[in-house]
Structure 1
Amino acid sequence: MLQTQKKQKYNFSLLKKIILIKSLVVIFATGLFAFSNSDEILSTNKNSSLLLTPISNLNDEEYDKFILGRSFFTVPWVEAPSATTARDGLGPLFNANSCVSCHPKNGRGTLISKDNITSRALVARLSIKANDSLEHQELLKYQGFVPEPVYGNQLAINGTLNVDFEGNIKIDFEEKVIIFPDGEKQILLKPKYQLTNLNYGPMHKDVNISYRIAPTLNGMGLIDLISNEDILANVDESDSNNDGISGRANFVYSTLTKQIELGKYTWKASVVFLKEQVASAASNDMGLTTSLFPNENCTQAQKECNEAVKPREAIDLPDERLDAITYYLKNIKAYIPKDTKEYNEGLALFEAISCSKCHIPSFDTKKGFKIAPFSDFLLHDMGEDLADGRVEFMASQSEFRTAPLWGLALHEKINKEKPRLLHDGRARSFQEAILWHGGEAKSSKENYMNLPKEKREKLIKFLEEL
């Protein structure tokens, strides 16, 4: 009897193991823990249309959603009322009438247009210093900054019929000469941007203006595949390892989850999810309302803006279309450089002068493959020369999220010119961008300056292929 019971117990235990093994086989086969093939998502094909290409193996339903998102990303919006409700609602104040206006072929924006005027891809973000009022404390909690009272979050360079645009951005520079230890000279361009033709009167006496150029959309959908734990593992606020680098996370309010989350998007890591970033750009750049930002971007002082004709629909960009745009950006192919001898030699130099401590070359994704954003997605003090004076949630006046470097190799293919680098487009080359680095990056800049010229050139060629 005892032996029979033991045998039954053993058989039951064995049965449980068999069921568990079969269940795991089913789980892996159905994709719950399946690893995506990175070749479906990443490409070494450096051409001007890569960022318009969907990832491989989308089914018919997924491809239809991708095409729907692409259409709302590329086709211009129009002023309400119009014959169609699908694309009306532009403005009343806006910078561009389509997403692609600032992100040509989903790439990085240009600084100066082909007509030799300021590109729409350069925007002026506006804020003022917060006081102790309840209103300002609420704005800091939910927006991360206090908007300029008359002009709002961002200067609008266009307006619809009977609504005056807010102003224009004028570009000017002064030269700054840098001399390397070996005698090489490099001229830097220090920006002297200013706002002109202000149609709503003078701005607040304490206004802060941060000029920002539209980044490449390469890999935007892949950022969500990096775990928060992997990003936070690189936080070192107190510089415990004494390397002079103290990356900080920006914890911000999410309009989606209605709680504080880890920021990963924008120049100051002030947005949590890609959908929020799309909705924010729709509001600030095109004046389109969404469920996340349901109000027109008019301030109380802008009478004509508030009285402008409203679209027939309460929301210009309903969730279905907002989700489609987000899906589109999440499912475009991303560029990665070829793994060559030159690439690895350049990477070794990049690591040797400590650039990789902030521009972390790669992360593992939740789907089991590596991506190479060359960023830690943390905030770093970049020094007085690059400070924009703007606070966004926990980001200070001189802190920026480490700019991802991936996809910049496509800029020249797309725009027939080299990319203007840094947040405000002041740098005409990677060398100029490096020489503007200060604060936590000062030692890396000095390391670069002390390299022999042939190694500096090799490093720049490496960066130009990222």
Structure 2
Amino acid sequence: MQKKHKSSFSFLQKAILTKSLVVIFTTGLFAVNNEGKYFSSEKNKSLLEKPVKGLNDEQYDQFILGRSFFVIPWVEAPSATTARDGLGPLFNSNTCVSCHPRNGRGSLYNNKMKPSRSLVARLSIPFDNSKEHKELFEKQGFVPEPRYGSQISVNGIHGVPFEARVDVKFQEIKVKFPDGEVDTILKPKYELIDKNYGKLAKNTAITYRMAQSLNGLGLLEKVSDEEILSNEDEFDKDGDGISGRANRVYSPLTKKEEIGRYTWKASAATVIEQIAGAANNDMGLTTFLQSNENCTSFQKLCNEAPKPWHKKDITDERLGAIDFYIRNLKTYKPKKDEEHLEGLEIFKGLDCAKCHKTSLKTVDGFNIEPFTDMLLHDMGEGLSDGRVEFKANEREFRTAPLWGLALHEKINKKKPRLLHDGRARDFQEAILWHGGEAEISKQKYMSASKEQREKLIKFLERL
């Protein structure tokens, strides 16, 4: 076993520490040639924890190693458990699965009906064109709040005070349909309470983000830049009201600008970069991609906290294993029965598929159905979060993939809270919050017959 891990480590060192990592992983070095080996229509709570079919012994060892670092708790340093020490000093969770239960989407509330760890508060301040801000924006895509950093940590290790808590209340808004139906949508009133490090900087933008499902992340990395860019129409030249554009982001892996694919505003180019960012922001873990602790200069006890044995909390080998694990998870695919096909036609007829693309081609030559174009779209003032990330402005979000949401209720025993901040209690509420480029499609939905609306919602619930 040790020999296998050593061999795997040797390979990963070459892959991770070179600019060719993205090309290697997307051209199918570990890919399964048969499309069917990636997907399953089995609707159970454990599906997203299973590996794709066809892994050899060495690859399966790598998968299991990655899973162990994903599900087993990290501990504060110094510790006899040197493989998993380095938690914090400030953190939200001590495991990845705390935010992604069974690799699915997080829930807005925990069992005590308090905001869960799957909901995080991201912070940024306006760009002032100074040299410092330019350097921060070039590499991070935003300027962190100086006292609290880029994300609020609701926990701290022994002796280090947590940063703040999240509180949420909702304002009810009535929406009336042309046929007389009335629905109630919720406008969130999020607040940071119990702030332990003083006041936030003036004009701080606070945006609240729900942890997304890991369903199909590896397959999205297999979609070429050319395929993504083929759907761009930044200046709406075809006049259909849709003007999607790709986010161009700095990649700490390749050290250059890449097409953004992951996060709510498409600010991460690869799965491994998304992992490293989440590890640092959510658990205070450093990697070769995110080498700084998440303490600011205002947080003395955080900066003076004991250091782990390793220079990097997550070594290159372990980071590579987590990356391999996530990219090689099974992907849920709904059964294409008559009900599905009927709902799909309504979906297309209401122009939902103009952004939630029903098909993208991978570099392996087969089609996937994530229901996203991976582009940024203006979603209107109602969803604006006041936050800029690289090319994405305050009103722009990446089209959220819809695949795999059917598993949420199986995993969490409750329906998913939708949109970036979890405000929508169901798909209809999510649709009713759509504005900007999606306004016409929303109006078409509201003007559709009650029967068509119900069939569309059932279709979405099965994706």
Q: Is the CA contact 2:32–2:54 (under 8 Å) kept in the aligned structure 1?
A: no
Matches within 5 A, 1:151-166: 151-166=148-163
2:194 is aligned to: 197
Matched ranges for 1:104-119 at <5 A: 104-119=101-116
Alignment pair present for 1:185 and 2:182:
yes
The structure 1 residue matched to 2:376, chosen from 376, 379, 392, is: 379
2:24 matched residue in structure 1: none
Paired residue for 1:446? 443
In structure 1, the partner of 2:326 is 329
Find the counterpart in structure 2 of residue 430 from structure 1. 427
Q: In structure 1, what is the equivalent of residue 18 of structure 2?
A: none
Per-residue CA deviations over 1:155-195 (Å, capped at 9, x if unaligned) read: 00000011000000001101000010111110001000100
TM-score norm. by structure 2 comes to 0.93
Q: Secondary structure at the match of 2:185?
A: strand
Distance in 2 between residues matched to 1:46 and 1:33, nearest whole Å: 25
Which residue of structure 2 aligns with residue 172 of structure 1? 169
Equivalent position amino acid for 2:65 in 1: L
Give the aligned partner of residue 220 of structure 2. Answer: 223
The 3-state SS of whatever aligns with 2:120 is strand
Is 2:37 the partner of 1:40? yes
Q: How far did residue 35 of structure 1 move?
A: 7.4
- For 2:207 and 2:302, the matched residues in 1 are separated by 24
Q: Match of 2:99? A: 102
> Which residue does the alignment assign to 2:247?
250
- Counterparts of 1:33 and 1:304 in 2: how far apart (Å)? 44
| 2:289 aligned with 1:292 | yes
Report the equivalent of 1:362.
Answer: 359
Task: Map 1:60-79 to 2 at 5 A.
Answer: 60-79=57-76
Instruction: Give 2:386's aligned residue.
Output: 389
Q: 1:23-54: per-residue Cα shift (whole Å, max 9, x none)? A: xxxxxxxx999971122111111110000111
Contact 2:248-2:391 within 8 A present in 1 as well: yes
In 1, are the aligned partners of 2:172 and 2:185 still within 8 Å (CA)?
Answer: yes
User: Is contact 1:290–1:315 with CA below 8 Å preserved after alignment?
Assistant: yes
The equivalent of 1:317 in structure 2 is 314
Deviations 1:241-271 (A, max 9, x none): 1000100111010000000011111000111
Give me the whole-angstrom Cα distance separating, in 2, the residues matched to 1:326 and 1:411: 22
* Contact 1:36/1:368 (8 A) holds in 2: no
Q: Report how far residue 57 of structure 1 moved.
A: 1.4
User: Any conservation in 2 of the 1:165–1:199 contact (CA below 8 Å)?
Assistant: yes
Instruction: State the partner residue of 1:57.
Output: 54
Residue 364 of structure 1: how far off its partner (Å): 1.5
Quote how far apart the aligned CAs of 1:95 are: 0.3
Equivalent-residue separation in structure 1 for 2:128 and 2:365 (angstroms): 47
Q: Distance in 1 between matches of 2:369 and 2:30?
A: 22
**Inter-partner Cα distance in structure 2 for 1:84 and 1:208:** 38
Residue in 2 that maps onto 1:275: 272
Taking the aligned partners of 1:282 and 1:340, their CA distance within structure 2 comes to 40
Q: CA deviation at 1:368?
A: 2.1
CA distance in 2, matches of 1:35, 1:426: 38
187, 211, 214: which one aligns with 1:214 = 211
Q: CA deviation at 1:85?
A: 0.5
Q: 1:411 aligns with which of 402, 408, 413?
A: 408
SS of equivalent to 2:109: coil
1:176/1:290 CA distance change after superposition, 3 Å: same
Aligned mates of 1:393, 1:144 — CA distance in 2: 4
In structure 2, the partner of 1:240 is: 237
The equivalences for 1:142-157 within 5 A come to 142-157=139-154
Give CA deviations for 1:321-379 in whole Å, capped at 9, x if unaligned. 00000000011100011111111110100000100000001111111221110000000
User: Larger deviation: 308-317 or 32-41?
Assistant: 32-41
Instruction: Tell me the CA shift for residue 134 of structure 1.
Output: 0.3
> 8 Å contact 1:167–1:197 — kept in the other structure?
yes
SS in 2 for 1:171: strand
Q: Distance in 2 between matches of 1:122 and 1:104?
A: 13
AA of the residue aligned to 2:216 = G
**SS of the residue 2:159 aligns to:** coil
Query: 1:305 is aligned with what amino acid?
Result: C
CA RMSD of aligned residues (A): 1.2
Q: Which of residues 344, 348, 362 is equivalent to 1:347? A: 344
Query: Separation in 2 of the partners of 1:130 and 1:445?
Result: 33
**Unaligned 5+ residue runs, structure 2?**
1-27
Instruction: Spell out structure 1 runs of 4+ moving beyond 2 A.
Output: 31-35
Indicate if the aligned counterparts of 1:36 and 1:369 stay in contact, CA closer than 8 A.
no
Q: Secondary structure at the match of 2:58?
A: helix
Question: Which residue pairs with 2:14 in the alignment?
Answer: none
Instruction: Give unmatched runs, 5+ long, in structure 1.
Output: 1-30
| Distance (whole Å) between structure 2 residues aligned to residue 304 and residue 32 of structure 1 | 45
User: 1:237 corresponds to which letter in structure 2?
Assistant: E
* Alpha carbons 2:32, 2:38 under 8 Å: kept: no
Distance change in 2, residues 1:135/1:32 (3 Å): closer
